[in-house]
Amino acid sequence: MNESGPYDGFWSGFGSDLGEATLVAGALALFRHHSCHVRGCARLGRPVDGTPYLACPKHHPAHQGQKRGVSQTTIHTAHQQRHSSTA
Ligand SMILES: [Zn+2]
């Protein structure tokens, strides 16, 4: 049995500190690229139709009310508006 630890091979596969730094920087850039564009908001955003901006569920203009508190009418109305605007 190898008592030195089963993770030795795992960690050595990550390579140098440079590799890890690149990984962290990449993850950060990815997060910033996908975060809400409202100043001071760090939530992940989704594209706002017709704009180059991203907005989180709280700041998205197409979102009304609480995420889990919308009525079926709200969803139906949004769905029909979407269809009538693209038709
Ligand atoms: Zn936001």
Per-residue pLDDT at 81: 80
Asked if residue 50 is part of any domain, the answer here is yes
Asked if residue 31 is part of any domain, the answer here is yes
Question: Would the pLDDT of 10 be above 60?
Answer: no
Asked if residue 76 is part of any domain, the answer here is yes
Per-residue pLDDT at 74: 74
Contact (CB, 8 A) for 35 and 41: yes
The CA 22 to ligand 1 mean position distance, Å, reads: 27
Determine the 3-state secondary structure of 13 from DSSP: coil
Determine the 3-state secondary structure of 30 from DSSP: helix
> What's the rounded mean pLDDT across residues 17-26?
77
Per-residue pLDDT at 7: 60
Question: Would the pLDDT of 46 be above 80?
Answer: yes
Residues around ion ligand 1, judged by CB within 5 A, are 36, 38, 41, 43, 56, 59
The pTM score is 0.42
Asked if residue 6 is part of any domain, the answer here is no
Count of domains forming the chain: 1
Q: Phi and psi for 42 in degrees, rounded to 5?
A: -110, 10
The CA 30 to ligand 1 mean position distance, Å, reads: 16
